[in-house]
């Protein structure tokens, strides 16, 4: 996890602090959500990467397709980041829906997977606090 964070942070020296906070928060939130979707261990770590790397295009100012072709990541991670349907898609989409206030999408994913709203909100708060403390 720390290697991933350091790799991403190496690119953000010239970027707003808020972007790095969003990168860290999204990655943390995706990882926290993992068990609710049935993902553990390596899959949870993959979700951390998916959350963080889903903003690589904004960090290094290149189209996401080009970024994905330049990094060595699994097909599932790459396809999720590119917006294609994978087992991880709903986790990333839920995290993004929380960030952007897309409540219809958020509610659809929660109902589809029969998730507990309070637990998701608690994880979101934890991710925000963690990201705020990590990037100061």
pLDDT at 128 exceeding the cut of 80: yes
Question: Which range, of 1-5, 54-58, 101-105, averages the lowest pLDDT?
Answer: 1-5
Please give the residue that has the higher pLDDT: either 70 or 11: 70
Whole-angstrom distance, CA of residue 52 vs CA of residue 122: 20
Sign of CA dihedral 56, 58, 60, 61: positive
pLDDT at 3 exceeding the cut of 60: no
- Domain locations in the chain? 2-134
Q: How far apart are the first and last CA of the chain?
A: 19
For residue range 63-101, list pLDDT tens digits in order. 999 888 888 889 999 999 999 999 999 999 999 999 999
Specify whether the CB–CB gap between 80 and 48 falls below 8 A.
Answer: no
- Bin 101: left if φ > 0, else alpha if -120 < ψ < 50, else beta: left
Q: Which residue has the tokens 């189209």?
A: 63
Whole-angstrom distance, CA of residue 124 vs CA of residue 106: 12
Whole-angstrom distance, CA of residue 22 vs CA of residue 58: 11
């Amino acid at each position: 996890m720390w290697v991933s964070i350091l790799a991403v942070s190496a690119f953000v020296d010239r970027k707003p602090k808020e972007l790095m906070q969003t990168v860290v928060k999204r990655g943390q939130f995706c990882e926290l959500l993992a068990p609710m979707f049935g993902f553990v261990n390596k899959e949870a770590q993959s979700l951390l990467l998916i959350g963080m790397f889903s903003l690589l295009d904004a960090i290094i100012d290149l189209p996401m397709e080009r970024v994905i072709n330049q990094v060595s990541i699994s097909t599932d991670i790459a396809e999720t980041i590119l917006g294609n349907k994978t087992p991880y898609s709903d986790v990333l989409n839920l995290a993004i829906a929380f960030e952007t206030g897309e409540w219809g999408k958020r509610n659809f994913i929660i109902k589809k997977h029969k998730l507990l709203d309070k637990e998701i909100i608690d994880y979101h708060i934890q991710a925000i606090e963690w990201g705020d403390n990590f990037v100061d």
